[in-house]
With several copies, the nearest count.
Chain A
Amino acid sequence: MPEVDAGDTAWLLTSTALVMFMTPGLALFYGGLVRTKNVLGTIMQSLIALGIVSVLWVLVGYTLSFGPSIGGLIGGLDFIGFRGVGQAPSASYATTTPHLAFAAYQMMFAVITPALITGAAAERLRFSATVLFLGAWSVLVYAPLAHWVWGGGWLGRLGAVDFAGGTVVHVNAGAAALAAIVVLGRRRGHGTEAFVPHNVPMVVTGAAILWFGWFGFNAGSALSAGGLAAAALVNTHVAAGAAILGWLLPERARHRRPTTVGAATGAVAGLVAITPAAGFVEPWAAILIGLAAGMVCFLAVDLKPRLGYDDSLDVVGVHLVGGIVGALLTGILATAAVNGIEGSLGLLGTQVVAVAATIAFSFAATWAILKAIDAVVGVRVREDEEIDGLDLSQHAEVGYTFGERGGSASSTVAVPEAAREKEAVR
């Protein structure tokens, strides 16, 4: 019987905490990029994933992803409700740590992946539709794909490599984002009004948390605290660093100024691209992947306005494009010395298949899910709600109320219901 190793477990628990932290990090990253009136609505689209997807993961998500494979397509129901997921190691996954630790670690991936998609739909997705979408997508799209690649499914058997989720998380979320854009249509005023980030320091804070958490995401995917985890951590970091440079150089050339939002976005693009490669390449290759991701994603995002579609927060340009860059470069740059896999044209071909299959399945399934939700509750807020902003229309809140220094609320007239009731009684 496999035994729990305390060192490996310490690192896996730490990594789990780090990956959990990424989802609120994403909430801040996305929240800072939207207009003030949508900051809370955008934050909520990530925050609620921590609620709905976590619960669903325990109930059915984990078993569909990592239960004994049914024909390479989906996991069986052995682990339904975390039945049989205990303190002893699993026989198949992360065999030196508690099965519960592995299941928890994977839960955090299941939470953040659908949350990533919401960036494409920002500033117009209804909250009730968001909740339904996150839940349905995590079960119907994420779980199968995780199974295909990591749970003993057909893509993994084919030999596709994905260290920490380049296809399962990023290409998948990016393709789903594309479907969301198609279904939702453009925001009111898109292309004519200024949609500028309302709080860039918040964007940086979010990106910093993402970067920090990504050490858990990638180096944690070694599922042990040894050389492979160290290699993945180094690669993760230098790819992110190089991608900042990769983004800022063409940005400076084209717009005369390297921007802060660009640096933050470039770092995320590098982190996305290194995700599938982190445990397969050497540091110099990670630098190349980072540089490439920064540049290619910059070009993708810079091109966007010409294409006329409205990917509010560039999920396609960063996660789909960056994910593809990473998946393909992994096929070429993998070095056997790192983790036993050597890049080759054959491997590249397999990676192309994995990417294509992911895009096709994710786009189609997401499109169907959104159409179904649209038929039931409507995916898009009403026009007046969009003008008022998601914060007021979906949540009856505003992000900031600064204007009260020196006295009571200036713009807010305060009659809490209960006080009014009391008033009426007198």
Chain B
Amino acid sequence: MKLVTAIVKPFKLDEVKEALRSIGVNGLTVTEVQGFGRQRGHTEVYRGAEYQVDFVPKVKVEVLAEEDQVQPVVDAILKTARTGKIGDGKVFVTPVDQVWRIRTGEMGPDAI
């Protein structure tokens, strides 16, 4: 079992979700986050003071996937979240020891 995490541009979320749904992903969890990276932030001005804001709004998408689903999931994200402009974000995969579905107590592949 693996956890695929993607940091993507917020306006790409729907497309990513639809792409994942179309390859059989049944669930995912989304978090609003702030990213700092090569992409420049912006300047804000309030009463004569200029503030450089380095953080950019992003969304984090997390998908629990079976081993053999990892590559398709990653590929789907890489394809749909890409705009080619700086700040498109990252995808990474981390190991998962075990998963449970709370409603039923099912474990492992049955839980997702």
Contact = CB atoms under 8 A, between A and B. Distances in A.
A–B direct touch in complex (beta carbons closer than 8 A): yes
Interface of A: 189, 193-197, 251, 254-255, 257, 259, 261-262, 265, 298, 301-305, 314, 387-388, 392, 396-398, 403-418
Interface residues of B, number: 28
Interface in B51-93: 51-57, 59
Contacts of A416: 49-51
A407 B57 contact: yes
B10 A410 contact: yes
Given A403-B32, A408-B10, A410-B10, A304 B48 contact: yes
B47 A406 contact: no
Contacts of A254: 48
B107 interface: no
B43 A410 contact: no
B10 A407 contact: yes
Contacts of A418: 49
Given A407-B12, A410-B30, A413-B17, A265 B52 contact: no
B47 A261 contact: yes
Contacts of B47: 261-262, 265, 301-302, 314
Contact of A410 (B34, B41, B42, B56): B34
B48 A196 contact: no
27 contacts: A194-B53, A195-B49, A196-B51, A251-B48, A259-B45, A302-B47, A302-B48, A392-B44, A396-B42, A396-B44, A397-B44, A403-B32, A404-B10, A406-B9, A406-B11, A406-B56, A410-B10, A410-B30, A410-B34, A411-B30, A412-B44, A413-B14, A413-B41, A413-B52, A416-B51, A417-B50, A418-B49
A396 B44 CA distance: 5
B7 interface: no
A303 B48 CA distance: 8
Contacts of B53: 194, 411-413
B4 interface: no
Nearest to A404: B10
Nearest to A192: B14
A197 B52 contact: no
B83 to A, nearest CB: 10
**CB-based closest 6 A-B pairs:** A407-B11, A407-B10, A302-B48, A406-B57, A416-B49, A408-B11
Contacts of A257: 45
Given A196-B46, A396-B45, A407-B57, A413 B12 contact: no
B13 interface: yes
Contacts of B14: 193, 408-409, 413-414
Contacts of A410: 10, 13, 30, 32, 34, 59
B10 A261 contact: no
Nearest to B10: A407
A186 B13 CA distance: 22
Contacts of B56: 406
Given A193-B14, A403-B32, A406-B11, A411 B46 contact: no
Nearest to A257: B45
B6 to A, nearest CB: 14
Contacts of B17: 413
A413 B41 CA distance: 10
Nearest to B57: A406
A129 to B, nearest CB: 20
Nearest to B52: A415
A262 B49 CA distance: 11
Nearest to B13: A410
A255 B42 CA distance: 13
Nearest to B48: A302
Contact of A396 (B13, B34, B43): B43
Contacts of A193: 11, 14
Most chain B CB neighbours (cut-off 10 Å) among A195, A261, A411, A418: A411
B54 A413 contact: yes
A413 B49 CA distance: 13
A413 to B, nearest CB: 5
A406 B59 CA distance: 11
Contacts of A304: 48
Contacts of A388: 42
Nearest to A306: B48
B45 A413 contact: no
A418 B45 CA distance: 12
A305 B48 contact: yes
A304 B47 CA distance: 9
A406 B89 CA distance: 14
A408 B13 CA distance: 8
Contacts of B48: 251, 254-255, 298, 301-305
